[in-house]
Amino acid sequence: MEQQPRWAEMCARILQQCESLRGGRENLAAFLGVHPHQLALWLSAKSGPPRAVFEKAVDVILAEHDRRAEMQEAAPRRRRNDH
């Protein structure tokens, strides 16, 4: 049963990032369609979320990654000599 704590810890880290990206615990719970108390258990790594919730959280992270990549792509390119 050693894998469950590691799984819960990994999920907690992902959900903590999602909490920040979605504007707090209440907003994230609403987005995920779960009760804030259940989310609190997952954020504290006491248990891991169901697969559907985990996948939705990963989608939040991937969307943020895509958003940052687009911003970086759209930023004007600077040469090393530009100051």
pLDDT at 76: 78
Asked if 14 and 8 count as a contact pair (C-beta separation under 8 A), the reply is: no
**Residues 55-83: tens digit of each pLDDT:** 999 999 999 999 999 998 888 776 666 55
CA distances (Å), origin 17, targets 1, 6, 52, 60:
26, 17, 17, 9
pLDDT at 5: 82
